[in-house]
Structure 1
């Protein structure tokens, strides 16, 4: 059977009507205390009609883990009801919706009196400042924050969870040797650097049960020879795989270094590497903005889903137009 962008598929037991995903992008419209607003209901509702899955923006598991001071969060029971309205708006368009749970670590924007925490006391840059190396008690508190956020996510009606372990945020910081210089159970070897992320994944899985979709977003490369590289990230995911249902493959963000060449589909090879090592669904993202390229990725089994961000952010009808277009000349995948 020919598989296309229009083909239905599953993540865990969740049926998705097609393989098009709205990628998570910060909207900077949260209230000062982290609540979603009518803006989020409109924004996600307008973009849900023609995608199989909506991934809402990074949602903080604790106040000191917000990426920006206008981020939304799920660190209080009061956050549940506004987020449930977002869920309902997406469901009304016959799409499914995951929440992306995150903690910014050394890339957090703090309120007065909050502590900037990271695996090690290493700054991202001068703008964020020098973080504290999180102690065992603080790490346990963050793991518990993920557990409680997972429970609230289910209560809010989300169809699944994405753990944000990419783009230089806390979980990514633990995985990379560039940002994790600890010499305890959470640092040193690749296996020890994995342990904090593993504990978070265990806590989330135990909170939601085996049939509730939980996936992870990973940066496949740090764009730095001292950092993570794609095959290593594939090995990391394989160790987490028993706890997860899919992987969303991105890149970079751990340091201010950026890729030298950003062309259409520039991250597809990273998704393909992970796809070659797992039977779980793989989501590709990064400049896949034409139907021809998206269909080629699916047909050649380089990935199972296509996530699109900025074009859908700028045009609520982009997904409808993409799906209805006649085939265009095939773009190269490099």
Structure 2
């Protein structure tokens, strides 16, 4: 049977009404204390109408892990109620919603007096400054932060969790040989570089149980000769597979290097590699803004779901246009 964008989908036992996903995009509208606001309720509720799944923006598991100071967090119980309002707004539109749990590591923008931490004392760029190498006891505390964030996420009513291990943030910093030069149990070989992410995934899975969806977002290429490539990421995901229910495939971010050519669907080949190498459902993302291209992704089983980000910022009804429910705007293509 041919799969289309309008075909129902499933992640773990969670049923989704179609194969479209709202990709996580930072809104920079959180309060100084990291709380979601009425803006988030309106923003995500408005865009949930024609997608099967909403993934909300990067949500910090600790105050010093916010990517920006106007990001939202889930590092205290006070964050639960405001985020619960976002969940209800999405559910009202017959969509499901995941939270993206994140820590920026060396790519966090900190308050005065706070210190960047990372896998190794290597700066991303002069803009961020030099991080310190996190000690094992600090990593154990961070694993606990992820566990607590997972419990709060479930209490807030989220339908699932996405672990942000892409775009050069903390989990990615441990995975990549570019940013992880440790020689202890958390670095020195692909297996040891995986250990922090593995322990985070174990903690989250133990917190939420076997039937609660947990997926991971990965960068399938570091765009650097010394970095990760799609087959490396496939090996990592296969190691994590017993703990996960889906994989969301992006790329880049571990260094300032960018892809040489960004064209419609430029990350689809990365998703296809993960689709061929693992048994997990795969979410493709990256310039998939034309209906024909999006339909081909799912029909040819290059991926199971298509995520859309930037077009949905300007056009909340963009997903409806891809599904043919509404006329395509001049900016949407065909």
Query: Which TM class, normalised by the smaller chain length?
Result: over 0.9
- Residue in 1 aligned with 2:205? 205
- In 1, Cα distance between equivalents of 2:209 and 2:63: 26
- Residue in 2 aligned with 1:306? 306
- Residue in 1 aligned with 2:41? 41
Contact 1:108/1:116 (8 A) holds in 2: yes
Shift of 1:251: 0.1
Shift of 1:327: 12
Shift of 1:137: 1.3
**CA displacement 1:252-275 (0-9 Å, x = unmatched):** 000000001000000000000000
**CA displacement 1:212-248 (0-9 Å, x = unmatched):** 0000000000000000000111011000000000000
- Residue in 1 aligned with 2:191? 191
1:109 aligns to 2:106 (yes or no)? no
Shift of 1:322: 1.3
What is the aligned length? 328
Contact 2:320/2:326 (8 A) holds in 1: no
- Residue in 1 aligned with 2:147? 147
Residues 43-52 or 317-326, more deviating: 317-326
- In 2, Cα distance between equivalents of 1:193 and 1:106: 16
Aligned residue runs from structure 1 range 1-334, under 5 A: 1-324=1-324
SS at match of 1:296: helix
- In 2, Cα distance between equivalents of 1:37 and 1:129: 31
- In 2, Cα distance between equivalents of 1:323 and 1:5: 7
Shift of 1:113: 2.3
- In 1, Cα distance between equivalents of 2:303 and 2:250: 12
- In 2, Cα distance between equivalents of 1:239 and 1:136: 22
TM-score (norm 2): 0.97
- In 2, Cα distance between equivalents of 1:279 and 1:219: 18
Contact 1:56/1:97 (8 A) holds in 2: yes
- In 2, Cα distance between equivalents of 1:6 and 1:177: 40
SS at match of 2:277: coil
Contact 1:271/1:282 (8 A) holds in 2: yes
- In 1, Cα distance between equivalents of 2:221 and 2:99: 24
Shift of 1:167: 0.0
**CA displacement 1:46-83 (0-9 Å, x = unmatched):** 00000000000000000000000000000000000000
- In 1, Cα distance between equivalents of 2:136 and 2:114: 17
Shift of 1:326: 9.8
**Structure 1 stretches lacking a partner, 5+ long:** 329-334
- In 1, Cα distance between equivalents of 2:280 and 2:142: 27
Residues 168-177 or 314-323, more deviating: 314-323
- In 2, Cα distance between equivalents of 1:220 and 1:2: 27
- In 2, Cα distance between equivalents of 1:177 and 1:135: 18
Contact 1:101/1:164 (8 A) holds in 2: yes
Shift of 1:278: 1.4
- In 1, Cα distance between equivalents of 2:63 and 2:178: 25
- In 2, Cα distance between equivalents of 1:207 and 1:313: 33
Shift of 1:325: 6.4
Residues 68-77 or 316-325, more deviating: 316-325
SS at match of 2:217: strand
Give the aligned CA root-mean-square deviation in angstroms: 1.2
- In 2, Cα distance between equivalents of 1:106 and 1:190: 20
